[in-house]
């Protein structure tokens, strides 16, 4: 039964995409957005091949000209490869999305993060600075809702570096 879930999701997404009303070309060119996403950490210094679950919430503000500012909080509740660790990332990013092709708007991003690493085994917490860079796309479903997917590389000064792939929904009230 579980093998059909992926196909059911793809079919539902195709139906919504084909039946949705025409929408504005640029998501969040001006105004506020709220994004809820889930993803995985992988690659970089994560050598075991195990992908680590990530939960993400973000608030963005389009300032015009294809530029958006975004504040994001991401939680990685279990980073088991390096012991009994969890990560919290607070990120401030600039997104650049100058063009749209139909319902699709690609973007690039650059951001800085403050990362809190908690080692439950040793009872320690530390904070590190990080640099995020990557890109993604919005797929506009309606004038106020878009599917969002992005991938970014996160470089932490004194901790593991990794890639994060995430997908979710962006709402533009």
CA–CA separation, 109 and 107 (whole Å):
7
Burial of 31 (0-12, 13-18, 19+ CB in 10 A): middle
How does DSSP classify residue 44? T
| Residue 94 maps to a domain | yes
CA dihedral 97, 102, 104, 105 (to 10 degrees): 0
pLDDT the model gives residue 51: 65
Per the structure, the count of domains in the chain is: 1
SS (H, E, C) 131-159: EEEEEEEEEECCCCEEEEEEEEEEEECCC
| Residue 115 maps to a domain | yes
| Residue 12 maps to a domain | no
**Residue 28: CB partners within 8 Å, gap ≥ 6?**
60, 61, 62, 68, 97, 170, 172
Per-residue tens of pLDDT for the chain, all 173 residues: 444 455 555 555 455 444 444 444 455 577 899 999 999 887 766 655 566 788 999 999 999 889 999 999 998 877 655 566 677 889 999 999 999 999 999 999 999 998 887 776 667 777 888 899 999 999 999 989 999 999 999 888 776 788 889 999 999 87
Q: For the whole prediction, is pTM greater than 0.85?
A: no
pLDDT in tens, 111-161: 999 888 777 666 777 788 889 999 999 999 998 999 999 999 988 877 678
| Residue 19 maps to a domain | no
Look up tokens 């195709």; give the residue.
14
| Residue 74 maps to a domain | yes
Average pLDDT for the chain: 79
pLDDT the model gives residue 52: 72
Domain coverage including residue 144: 24-171
pLDDT the model gives residue 40: 86
pLDDT the model gives residue 94: 96
CATH number assigned to the domain comprising residue 149: 2.40.160.20
CA–CA separation, 74 and 162 (whole Å):
14
């Amino acid at each position: 039964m579980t093998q059909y879930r992926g196909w059911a999701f793809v079919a539902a997404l195709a139906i919504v995409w084909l039946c949705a009303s025409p929408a504005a070309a640029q998501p969040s060119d001006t105004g506020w957005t709220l994004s809820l996403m889930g993803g995985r950490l992988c690659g970089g210094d994560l050598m075991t091949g195990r992908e680590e679950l990530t939960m993400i919430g973000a608030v963005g503000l389009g300032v015009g000209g294809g530029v958006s500012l975004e504040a994001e909080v991401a939680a990685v509740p279990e980073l088991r490869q390096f012991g009994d660790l969890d990560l919290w990332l607070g990120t401030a990013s600039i997104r650049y999305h100058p063009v749209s092709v139909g319902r699709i708007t690609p973007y690039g991003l650059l951001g800085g993060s403050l990362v809190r690493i908690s080692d439950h085994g040793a009872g320690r917490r530390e904070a590190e600075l990080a640099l995020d860079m990557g890109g993604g796309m919005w797929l506009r479903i309606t004038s106020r809702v878009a599917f969002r997917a992005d991938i970014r590389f996160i470089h932490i000064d004194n901790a593991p570096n990794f890639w994060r792939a995430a997908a979710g929904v962006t709402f533009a009230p």
